[in-house]
Chains A and B, each alone.
Chain A
């Protein structure tokens, strides 16, 4: 137990160091960035047909932020604020704190990716077992190839194909977040509306990620099938159902680590899908903030995305320790 705690403490310290490096990186990056957000806003308003006077007034309303002081004091201030979970104020959404913005988009992404991940985990594991059991047949080979192919195909290919054919050509689904005329809350219609908008992105996500689980599950099952226990029980004629249970139980353990790791990408892992489906999540927010040079939002979003991965890594590692007590230090980590 003590060992476990020490290991955990080590991970946490390393995680914090990584987060510190990332924050420093974004701080430096922001100060290197070209492009003047004030000017952009002005020109955008002009292109929308606003008169220069109106546009000027409008722009002056938006941006009051000019960083003063030395770089070091800015940096100190930045870190101090971060310690208080204060990521600054958004430039795009004037006066709204970045923390609020980031959390409200993260909410949408997490729902989407969680559904997609669980779906793909389920399919991946089941198909992975089949692929391993039948690895010398056409079914097994086919499954492996389909798995590798889907694992390899980038999300946007899947997302764009689904968008084009299912929402536009056949109008089966709606895109976007949720309908506003419904009373928010735990009523059927509202939830149905949320779900109806999230189904297709979630399916796209699942389709483009179950291949990975399929492949890991297959190789895990194959290695368990080689265990002495299996060989012995096959020789003794133990019922296949018992063998299957043994195999499934032992083979699925490493998959949980993979699952924990992939949950880390929950926050930032759906950039393309959100973009293709106009889904208001973190990825969409990151891209929008980059496009409009809202650097406070951009670094906030990136920081949250990275933190999620770091935390998931720590969890996965600790999970691994719990699942497989042989792992203590070094190799397995």
Chain B
């Protein structure tokens, strides 16, 4: 993500800024320990999703102690068939994070393309695209996903991500458009046009780098929303599944009476707390990024 992130300044962007962004981010992160924690949490989840599942065998060993509480051999207890909850949490993170990443990618591609084009061209294409954007924004997303589950099976994380992305790009498109509109009036874009530079050049060299920070921040928040939606769908049990993920864990915990008896509480709580933690990490990290991108907010 950090490769395209730049500081929104009035001057044209100099490529050397990239290292400066990282230095800035590091500086801002270090200012508050909470931000370091946030970055650490987010990094932890990424590592968990990428390499975590390889640490466990395909078929988890089953303990005879069903729905047990945390112990030394099972740090987060066991589930209804005696499998280790921590292992399931780690294995299940991959589907969730992959789908969220794909969704984020789709959102960026569609949202930025629509927003940039609409904002840069203005006029008829703009109003047409904004009508569509309004429509996408208006249709209540989660009920729509629920209804879509009746025809779409979301067999893989890729499909899940695709659908989440395709229903969730509206907000980004709109903010990219208003950014573009305001950048368009700034001196450097005018100047570039005066110099007779081509539209692709202006868009890719002048506009994109300047809206990238907003995209990055929107994205980070977007990723969490995508995680909630898909976990929610699995929790409600409207989707078929063939491997474990956090939503499936919640659903099976509820079906197995964890909320009734309290036995196996850690089985239910593990994915819930994972979501809470991830949210916390993102909130803290966004706080830091906000400061890098909006120097006015700095509390010097």
Contact = CB atoms under 8 A, between A and B. Distances in A.
User: So, do A and B actually touch in the complex, CB under 8 Å?
Assistant: yes
B3 interface: no
B198 interface: no
A290 to B, nearest CB: 6
Interface stretch (B22-30, B39-47, B158-166, B278-286): B278-286
A26 interface: yes
A275 B91 CA distance: 26
A133 to B, nearest CB: 15
B283 A306 contact: no
Contacts, number: 116
Given A149-B279, A164-B268, A290 B262 contact: no
Contacts of A22: 139
B262 A164 contact: yes
B238 A168 contact: no
B138 A29 contact: no
**Counting chain B CB atoms within 10 Å of each CB, which of A14, A160, A309 scores highest?**
A160
A154 B280 contact: no
B140 A265 contact: yes
Interface string B230-265: 011001111000000000001000100011111001
A34 B151 contact: yes
B224 interface: yes
A306 B262 CA distance: 37
A313 B287 contact: no
Interface in B41-62: none
Contacts of B197: none
**Counting chain B CB atoms within 10 Å of each CB, which of A153, A268, A272 scores highest?**
A153
Interface in A278-293: 286-287, 290-291, 293
Contacts of A21: 135
A318 interface: no
A292 to B, nearest CB: 11
Contacts of B224: 152
Interface string B144-155: 101111110000
Contact of A33 (B134, B150, B232): B150
Given A152-B221, A161-B272, A287-B238, A302 B259 contact: no
B146 A290 contact: yes
A14 B132 CA distance: 11
Contacts of B139: 22, 306, 309
A271 interface: yes
B299 A290 contact: no
Given A271-B142, A290-B238, A302-B143, A163 B149 contact: no
Interface string B163-198: 000000000000000100100000000000000000
A302 B147 contact: yes
**Counting chain A CB atoms within 10 Å of each CB, which of B146, B232, B237 scores highest?**
B146
A298 interface: yes
B161 to A, nearest CB: 18
Contact of B151 (A32, A145, A275, A286): A32
Interface residues of B, number: 48
B218 interface: no
Interface residues of A, number: 48
B259 A160 contact: yes
B228 interface: yes
A286 to B, nearest CB: 6
B111 to A, nearest CB: 19
A190 interface: no
A154 B275 contact: yes
Contact of B276 (A157, A299, A310): A157
A42 to B, nearest CB: 20
B63 interface: no
A161 B275 CA distance: 13
B278 to A, nearest CB: 9
B146 A163 contact: no
A287 B146 contact: yes
B276 A290 contact: no
B34 A145 contact: yes
A291 B143 contact: no
Contacts of B178: 331
B167 to A, nearest CB: 12
A84 interface: no
Given A148-B287, A268-B140, A290-B149, 13 more contacts: A14-B131, A21-B135, A148-B283, A148-B286, A149-B283, A161-B272, A164-B259, A168-B261, A287-B236, A295-B150, A302-B143, A305-B140, A306-B140
27 contacts: A14-B131, A22-B139, A34-B150, A145-B284, A148-B286, A148-B287, A152-B279, A152-B282, A152-B283, A153-B275, A154-B275, A157-B276, A160-B250, A160-B259, A160-B272, A163-B259, A164-B258, A164-B262, A271-B236, A272-B236, A287-B236, A287-B238, A293-B150, A298-B147, A299-B147, A302-B143, A305-B140
> Closest 4 A-B residue pairs measured CB to CB?
A154-B228, A148-B283, A152-B279, A268-B143
Interface of B: 34, 131, 134-135, 138-140, 142-144, 146-151, 178, 181, 221, 224, 228, 231-232, 235-238, 250, 254, 258-262, 265, 268-269, 272, 275-276, 279-280, 282-284, 286-287, 299
